[in-house]
Amino acid sequence: MTDNKILEKAKIWLDGNYDEETKAAIRKMMAEDEKELTESFYRDLEFGTGGLRGIMGVGSNRMNKYTVGAATQGLANYLKKCFGEKSLKVAIAHDSRLNSRHFAEITAAVLSANGIHCYLFENLRPTPELSFAVRFLNCNAGIVVTASHNPKEYNGYKVYWEDGGQLVPPHDKNIIAEVNRISSVDEIKWEKIDENIEIIGENVDKIYLEKILSLSLHPEAVKRHKDMPIVYTPLHGTGITLVPRALKQLGFENVIVCAEQAEPDGNFPTVASPNPEEKSAMELALKLADKVNAGLVLATDPDADRMGIAVRGTDGKLQLFTGNMTASLLVYYILSEWSEKESLTDKFIVKTIVTTEMISDIAKDYGVLCEDVLTGFKYIAEQIRKYEGKKEFLVGGEESYGTLVGDFVRDKDAVSACCMIAELAAVLADSGKSLYELLLELYKKYGVYKTELVSVTKKGQDGAKEIADMMVRFRENPPKELGGSKVVKIKDIQKQIITDCQTGATEALPLPKSNVLQFFTADGDKITVRPSGTEPKIKFYFEVKAPLKNIGSYQETLNTLTDKVKRISSYLLTSNF
């Protein structure tokens, strides 16, 4: 029996100013599918700190024209409060997902009806280009319709502020409040004003690509290795619009696109999940690379902000790199090259707190400031804005396959990342080395870092309490030893304090409050614990470290660290300390 509150909400839609197709779908659910009716109406799809994300369909808890319209109206109302009624401008882009163009056009229509000038991309474009366009076109905000690498049933709506970065406080919470004030579909202005919508495309592409080309540090190396085979897959996403073009513009003439995954398609027909973090999504590209004897494979997710790579190991087989590995290589390349040209004292880099500490070690080695921020690339963008005019941002990264070189984009950028990692491969080829061999050299210098994410799902109300109780236990009775190594430092980001476990001394932690704990050991290990903000999960980010005696002992060292992660994971999940 369907809950009366759900029936009442569905009836509001049946009686309201919703289109007949929507009403017909609701009637069908009421007659034939109570479960789907419940899922579609048991709550309102939340406008979170970044925007909307949800399954597409009819109802208040689904991504559809009405939930997108309400979000856009709330954003329009907030923009007027912040900037006044006149000369407001917003850039809009979308990815290859089902209904993405439809939602982008609805967004433009509602904004235009509110007297806001919209720059709407002519067709799909990478998310980082939208971030670039916000600043290039002097917009007050930007919107990209995407659900990143979620399954095909999902779509989303991300909002960017005038600096080209995703929303951060106070704007995130303030916009949420405005969206929540939209109580009726009748409050949404739907009537499009054509003169307020300007179609953009090549004019922005050209400048964006020129900016990427300006990042090049060794164009002569690319020229020498222009025929180096590079396999690229966009995983049916937006990367196809600019990644091959950017690589060619840089000078690479042998970019081989994975044909089966080249066509933008929101059904993602060749993959279970369009996520370059997953080996299964890379399989077709890996097979192609073996066929053409390519030493570098590049992949981007549907909105082309995340990049995955594979390179040949010393055994000749293709090896997938983690986001931490790739980010470390790029940071090393940028810092080593810049240090030869000029002082790094007025430069800085940024990483998130769950990203490998190897980046901090590299930065320390080169005497450059490395800022740690909360998880989420929006906090990296926030640091760029903080130091604007004071220090120059060089590179930033996060463990979840996102990197950014230069500051003309304010979000992770797989287009420029593909170019820079390919250029590094060409530079290394001059001395007969590979990206894999460079990584081993860095491990020899800084130690081997083994990273792993373990997510534990606890569903329902009882699960939520269990997760909360686990965080209380970790705070009140923290582990004294992990993996045979003493815990020497604890960062409690909720309490904003750092505790020295040997002396008991504490110091302030200059990060915004967040329910996160980090344990650091004498061996240089880092274990981070945090509940997910969007799913019924508690996440454990493991990073364990050991010196590498020689390159030949890498696999043995890695195996030892893998066992250590298993032991620490089991201990944290089963012990009371």
Alpha-carbon gap, residue 168 to 151, rounded angstroms: 26
Strands 485-492 and 517-521: antiparallel
Residue-by-residue pLDDT tens, the chain, 577 positions: 568 889 999 999 999 999 999 999 999 999 999 999 999 999 899 888 788 999 999 999 999 999 999 999 999 999 999 999 889 999 999 999 999 999 999 999 999 999 999 999 999 999 999 999 999 999 999 999 999 988 999 999 999 999 999 999 999 999 999 999 999 999 999 999 999 999 999 999 999 999 999 999 999 999 999 999 999 999 999 999 999 999 999 999 999 999 999 999 999 999 999 999 999 999 999 999 999 999 999 999 999 999 999 999 999 999 999 999 999 999 999 999 999 988 899 999 999 999 999 999 999 999 999 999 999 999 999 999 999 999 999 999 999 999 999 999 999 999 999 999 999 999 999 999 999 999 999 999 999 999 999 999 988 778 888 899 999 999 999 999 999 999 999 999 999 999 999 999 999 999 999 999 999 999 999 999 999 866 678 999 999 999 999 999 999 999 999 999 999 999 998 876 6
Largest distance between two CA atoms of the chain: 73
Which two three-digit tokens encode residue 159? Answer: 């909002």
Strands 89-94 and 141-145: parallel
222-444 with 447-574: one CATH topology? Answer: no
Alpha-carbon gap, residue 406 to 564, rounded angstroms: 37
The per-residue pLDDT for 577 is 60
The per-residue pLDDT for 3 is 81
Burial of 307 (0-12, 13-18, 19+ CB in 10 A): buried
The per-residue pLDDT for 1 is 53
User: Could you identify the residue written with the tokens 């790579």?
Assistant: 309
SS (H, E, C) 94-112: ECCCCCHHHHHHHHHHHHH
Of 13, 23, 164, the closest CA to residue 93 belongs to: 164
The answer to whether domain 447-574 has CATH 3.30.310 is yes
Which two three-digit tokens encode residue 228? Answer: 């180096």
All structural domains of the chain with their residue ranges? 43-203, 222-444, 447-574
Which two three-digit tokens encode residue 339? Answer: 């240090």
Q: Rounded to 5 degrees, what are φ and ψ at 143?
A: -140, 135
Alpha-carbon gap, residue 138 to 119, rounded angstroms: 11
Which two three-digit tokens encode residue 393? Answer: 């941002």
Alpha-carbon gap, residue 164 to 204, rounded angstroms: 14
> Is 148 annotated in the active site?
yes
Burial of 245 (0-12, 13-18, 19+ CB in 10 A): middle
Query: Of the residues 148, 400, 416, 569, which is catalytic?
Result: 148
State how far the alpha carbon of 275 is from the alpha carbons of 107, 150, 237, 244, 467, in Å.
26, 8, 11, 19, 27
State how far the alpha carbon of 217 is from the alpha carbons of 165, 244, 306, 348, 439, in Å.
26, 19, 22, 18, 19
Q: Would you say 162 and 176 are in contact if contact means Cβ atoms under 8 Å apart?
A: no
Q: What is the CATH number of domain 43-203?
A: 3.40.120.10
Alpha-carbon gap, residue 255 to 243, rounded angstroms: 10
Sequence-distant (≥ 6) Cβ neighbours of residue 556 within 8 angstroms = none
DSSP 56: B
Point out which residues pair with 51 in neighbouring strands. Answer: 158
Alpha-carbon gap, residue 291 to 264, rounded angstroms: 24
The per-residue pLDDT for 2 is 65
Secondary structure class of 198 (helix, strand, coil): strand
Alpha-carbon gap, residue 409 to 407, rounded angstroms: 5
Alpha-carbon gap, residue 97 to 304, rounded angstroms: 12
Alpha-carbon gap, residue 57 to 55, rounded angstroms: 7
Domain 222-444: CATH architecture, name and number where available: 3-Layer(aba) Sandwich (3.40)
Of 349, 347, 313, the closest CA to residue 328 belongs to: 349
Burial of 390 (0-12, 13-18, 19+ CB in 10 A): exposed
